[in-house]
Amino acid sequence: MQRAVDGVAGEGSSPWPGTMPARAASTSSVRSARRQTFIILGGAIWALLVTILMYRALPWEIFKIAVAASVRTSAIVFLLVGTATAFAYLLALYRLPDHLTDAMLAISSNRSR
């Protein structure tokens, strides 16, 4: 039994009532991420312009140092997130949590599973 989403049956529709098709969910997630990125970047640019033009409190040399430190910190964070994502993917791919659970249950007297 397939349910039509937005009046269109077939590809892209979800077989479970009340759920979104995967394509629509990913599209809305991408739009939401783009919107959040635009808002964050807009706020950062606005703060930078106010600091430079209104207060005139950010000389060029200090700006370059701040940008270099920010890029370094962002690179470290992205490296950590990327590594954690790859590690989680490999754990799921090799079903390591299932194997560890089975190994622990093999030596345990509690057989509730």
- On whether the CB atoms of residues 82 and 89 are closer than 8 A, the answer is no
Measured N-to-C along each axis, helices 60-93 and 96-107 cross at an angle, to the nearest 10 degrees, of: 50
Range of the domain at 67: 59-113
> What does the radius of gyration of the chain's CA atoms come to, in whole angstroms?
25
Question: How many Å apart are CA 81 and CA 98, to the nearest integer?
Answer: 24
Does one domain contain both 48 and 65? no
Does one domain contain both 113 and 86? yes
- On whether the CB atoms of residues 78 and 72 are closer than 8 A, the answer is no
* pLDDT band for position 1 (cuts 50, 70, 90): very low
Q: Which two tokens stand for residue 48?
A: 């930078």
Does one domain contain both 63 and 113? yes
Please state the domain count of the chain: 2
**Residue indicated by tokens 């409190």:** 57
Does one domain contain both 113 and 69? yes
SS3 sequence, 1-61?
CCCCECCECCCCCCCCCCCCCHHHHHHHHHHHHHHHHHHHHHHHHHHHHHHHHHHCCCCHH
Does one domain contain both 35 and 68? no
Does one domain contain both 68 and 88? yes
Does one domain contain both 51 and 4? yes
| Mean of pLDDT values over 101-113 | 78
Does one domain contain both 49 and 63? no
- On whether the CB atoms of residues 6 and 23 are closer than 8 A, the answer is no
* pLDDT band for position 30 (cuts 50, 70, 90): confident
For 42-96, what is each residue's pLDDT tens digit? Answer: 888 888 888 888 888 888 898 899 889 999 999 999 999 999 999 999 999 999 9
Last residue of a domain, one of 21, 41, 58: 58
